[in-house]
Amino acid sequence: MSSKKNETIKALFEDGNEEFAEEFRDRVKAIHEYFDKDGDGYLNMEELGELQRCTTTTESTTESTESSSSLDGDQYVMVCRCLGCHPNRGISVEALRLTYASDGADLEKDYATVFPERKRVDTTNDGETNNKDETNVKDDDEKVYEIGQDGYEI
């Protein structure tokens, strides 16, 4: 079963999806680096808890709720073990990538919450990350219109 899940995740990043895969990796890396306050390359319990608090919202409000999203030690150990990470070290960027590739995760929403001023992260040919502010870049052709029931705009 685990093998089939890994094959599905691997397929997301194979031929034909390179642009998606690159943007996906860049966004996960940017989120990981943002919350990795000690810069050791891993998210410890406090750092992962901060990511969770920042990106968790209730249905009735868009503000984060600390009470509903506080991460305790047992939960942190369970998350680390599920992702194949040692709790004393923390969550690697690869493990966070797996988390965002799973059902129910919303990388776009979390990225927009953490970086509201940015729309996407680009990389140069040498692999360096360049954060581009694209808040004012919008073509009329790129606008998305939601159409509700009976053809009315939402």
Q: Sign (positive/negative) of CA torsion 80, 85, 91, 95?
A: negative
Mean pLDDT in the chain?
75
- Top pLDDT among 53 and 2 is at 53
pLDDT, mean of residues 11-40: 85
Please count the CA atoms within 13 angstroms of the CA of 121 that sit on its side-chain side: 23
Render pLDDT for 66-101 as a digit per residue (tens, 0 to 9): 445 578 999 999 999 999 999 999 999 999 999 999
- Residue 32 or residue 10, greater confidence: 32
Interval 94-130: pLDDT, tens: 999 999 999 899 999 999 999 998 755 444 445 555 5
At 115 the pLDDT is: 95
Structural contact between residues 43 and 35, judged by C-beta atoms closer than 8 angstroms: yes
Give the separation between CA 134 and CA 137, rounded to whole angstroms: 5
